[in-house]
Chain A
């Protein structure tokens, strides 16, 4: 009985991990869809910041076209960075703050950035629970019997982001 419930518990957690991973991709897709709208909306105002905008567009298409998980990870990191720069530069344009459409898009993108960060955080939270479950006694015996393997954490490559508490997953 006990073994059965433990076993089922592991299965549930493993499925939730898969689901959380899928959720991250949903959020990334959302970001790909929003970016062109924002770029088009601000293009007219930001003649002198072509490079900033180009970086965003470039990183986005690199992320979409990425073949491997590693490539995609790098491109996504680049995209997060370039968006941060864009938001920072946008602060210098008061006209943008008066444009309702731009404000709306900016809020949606901010929300999406948070959703991406939180879906990764949630993924790591359940991986931690699952790994702890199959590594601690007596779960480790049951995990060994049915061959449950520890899952890998999602890690952020940006060194400066690791210092921000929001993404400090080691908390």
Chain B
């Protein structure tokens, strides 16, 4: 059932986010304690810097992303079907109509950006319009609108604050040890201090990797959620399933994708590098198709 699938993914998101928060607080507190003998100080320091960085990308990120792929606003005269399909779905979802952009890229893909529904933008590659029929396009746009409706940009920002905290503190801590700095060393009170520094160092090496893995798990989870929400929005999971099948079937390499937009696309843009599921921003496309088809089967 679509409703079950949505509820399951929401629960999982919530659980992972709590886990991530606890993990981040623990790591930052410990590194803070080892580095300048104040766990709370470390937390506040990491949080402030990471928050500022994430807020900047939260407010300006959409423009940077759109210009980085060379997106142009799509006119109604030139792309009537794309505009119609989007408008239909805003009626189904109750969302305001997002701005629509076209990316001059023959590889079929699409992504959504913008910090809230009022500022939402959807960018579609030319290649996508070329290979999909109306029904499939509807599925893809519904997936993108679902990201907007589920506040995934906001969600990703919260996650990036946590990830940033871990990375900033770990990097600085490794740096100070390497360069022989670190205020705690001067006031070192003996063996206990040394053990804390060793554990801190281990954490500083392993924690960023672990944090990235949690972030990726969350990213995959949000993709499943957007698929399920799209199925609910269109009442037609097969349209999106067929679109995903066509997208994964094309071998046209992307001309515009970069690392910054890659996690946002409806399907991972870099193919050929068959990364392990654990390190991927997107769930395997076969699994997504399978889940969509199950939703269609049950709803009949």
Cβ of A77 within 8 Å of any chain B Cβ, yes or no, is no
Residues of chain B lying within 8 A (CB to CB) of residue A122: 91-94
Contact A165/B87 with A107-B80, A118-B92, A122-B92 known, Cβ cut-off 8 Å? no
Residues of A within 8 A of B299 (CB): 165, 168, 171
Q: Are B91 and A115 in contact (CB under 8 A)?
A: yes
Closest to B91 in A: A118
- In the complex, A107 Cα to B238 Cα: how many Å? 21
Q: Give residues 283-300 of B contacting A (CB, 8 Å).
A: 296, 299-300
| In the bound complex, CA of A117 to CA of B238 (Å) | 17
Where chain A touches its partner, the secondary structure class is helix
From B3, B94, B300, contact of A163 by CB (8 A): B300
**B237 at interface by CB-CB < 8 Å:** yes
Interface residues on A, range: 20 to 34
- Min CB distance, A63 to chain B, in Å? 20
Residue with the greatest number of chain A CB neighbours at <10 A, chosen from B84, B89, B235, B237: B235
B91 and A119 form a contact (CB under 8 A): yes
Task: Report whether B88 and A111 are in contact in the complex, using a CB–CB cutoff of 8 Å.
Answer: yes
Within 8 A of B (CB), among A82-141: 104, 107-108, 110-111, 114-115, 118-119, 121-122, 126
Set of chain B residues within 8 Å of A80, measured between Cβ atoms: none
Q: Which A residue's beta carbon lies closest to that of B1?
A: A171
Report the bound CA distance from A126 to B93 in whole Å.
Answer: 10
| Bound Cα distance from A118 to B89, whole angstroms | 7
Query: How many whole Å from B129's CB to the nearest CB in chain A?
Result: 14
Partner of B134, one of A16, A110, A167, A171: A110
| B residues near A18, Cβ cutoff 8 Å | none
Q: Which residues of A contact B232 (CB under 8 A)?
A: 171
Q: Write out, one digit per residue, whether chain B residues 119-135 have a CB within 8 A of any chain A CB (1) or not (0).
A: 00000000000000010
Q: Is residue A166 within 8 Å, beta carbon to beta carbon, of the partner chain?
A: yes
A115 to B91, CA, bound (A): 7
In residues 209-240 of chain B, which contact A (Cβ within 8 Å)? 232, 234-238
B244: interface (CB < 8 Å) = no
Those of B91-123 within 8 Å (CB) of chain A: 91-94
Residue among B2, B88, B91 with most chain A CB within 10 A: B91
Q: Verify if A72 is at the interface (C-beta below 8 Å from B).
A: no
- Give bound CA distance, A47 to B61, whole Å: 57
The interface of chain B, by Cβ under 8 A from chain A, is 1-3, 80-81, 84-85, 87-89, 91-94, 134, 138, 232, 234-238, 296, 299-300
| 8 residue pairs A–B, Cβ–Cβ below 8 Å | A110-B134, A114-B88, A118-B89, A118-B92, A122-B93, A166-B235, A167-B235, A171-B235
Interface residues of A (CB under 8 A from B): 16, 23, 27, 104, 107-108, 110-111, 114-115, 118-119, 121-122, 126, 163, 165-169, 171
- 19 further A-B contacts with Cβ under 8 Å, apart from A111-B85, A118-B89, A168-B235, are A107-B80, A110-B134, A111-B87, A111-B88, A114-B138, A115-B87, A115-B88, A118-B88, A118-B92, A121-B235, A122-B91, A165-B235, A165-B236, A165-B296, A166-B235, A169-B235, A171-B1, A171-B2, A171-B232
Q: What are the 8 closest A-B residue pairs judged by CB atoms, nearest first?
A: A118-B92, A111-B84, A114-B88, A118-B91, A166-B235, A171-B299, A166-B236, A119-B91
